[in-house]
Structure 1
Amino acid sequence: MDDDPGLTRLIERELRREGFQTAGVGSGLDATEWLKHHRADLLLLDLKLPDMEGPALIESMVAMGRSVPFIIITGQGDERVAVDMMKRGALDYLVKDVNFIEFVPTVVRRALSQLDKEHRLAAAEADRHRLEQEILHISELEQQRIGRDLHDDLGQQLAGLSIMATMLSRSLASRAAPEVPEATKITELLKKTVAMTRSLARGLHPVAAEPDGLMSALHDLATRM
């Protein structure tokens, strides 16, 4: 958009010759109305429009939620203002000089290439984040599975062995058998192992003990022995 209709037509003609689709307007109000009903990939924005200056138009677009990437077009002597606009988000700027028109397609193409890279980078970052979340979810499920296995299988098997070892120790003690000290050590070791297994299982996946879980484990042990 530019306050000079003739210059706007020249810019459009040069860009269309290079394969770009264009729409030209001559004021900030026209630009605002056009953006309410259309989508633009990039704006060529003159710093000084008939009804408002470039910075005011950018603020207006942001306020209406229609922020569009833009390139500043400025007259000679306004380069400092153009640099300030780049700090506000402009992708580049063009100075109206003798060779101004022929540089427009190159600057536009460079800006669009930059935008494309940024979009692809953002998409890759989103994919990476999604993949991290999926891996984390799978890891949590696997952790829970291991916790359940420890609790339901190994933990209850060890608990059954611990009870059997306790009963054996008592039986040996009642007969004053010489194996009592060794049996007692085995019983204590099994109790510690059961406690460690349960603690590890709770850390991996807190589970509620099933009422008949221990009895099932004991029955299975008795069958195997």
Structure 2
Amino acid sequence: MGIDIDKLINEYESGLSTFELGLKYGVEAGAIRYRLKKAGIKLRPLAHKRDDKVELPMEQILKEYLDEGISAMKLGIKYKVSYETLRYRLKKEGVQLRKKGYVLDLPIVEIVAEYNAGISAYELCKKYKVTNTTILKRLREAGVQIRPKELGGIKNRANLPMEEVKAEYLAGMSSVALGKKYGVSSITILKRLRGAGVQIRLRGGK
């Protein structure tokens, strides 16, 4: 990282955060913190206690992180919060964070063969423990033509046992955990719960 350390120190001590400096120099905030620590600079504490006050569209972020595979670093940049804040908020939602460099490993040749043999995307997502969105995305990337009946939206594809879903949610299961169990996104779970008249818990409690 070819950064002038004296300039970095001056900018940090003038009030810029490690996140802002990371954006400026195109590196993660952690790399900035490491360089500052190495230079003997006493770092300001990370403000996780204040993170709850930041308004974030968590349902959209969950979709992008879980279904689309966008990294916490890129999501932090997109929503103008630090990498640490984004990870903290994902953990509060019950998300198991991916390791850096993670790419979802799916047997795409086998999935394509099963889909072409007539198995639905919904059945495949349950088998491989991913969401419908992930299966359909991988099939498209493999050049597979998606069957028309599976393009009408999640509601038409996912035949969820809503009485069971409601009971589990009311018993304390999170929308993320339920989504993983039934092979759909947490957003789908929340939409279906709302449609069933269930009051959704506040962020961090769902």
Q: TM-score range by the shorter chain?
A: under 0.3
- Structure with larger RCO (C-alpha < 8 A, sep 6+): 2
Look at both structures and tell me which one has the larger radius of gyration over its CA atoms: 1
- TM-score after normalising by structure 2: 0.21
Higher share of residues assigned strand: 1
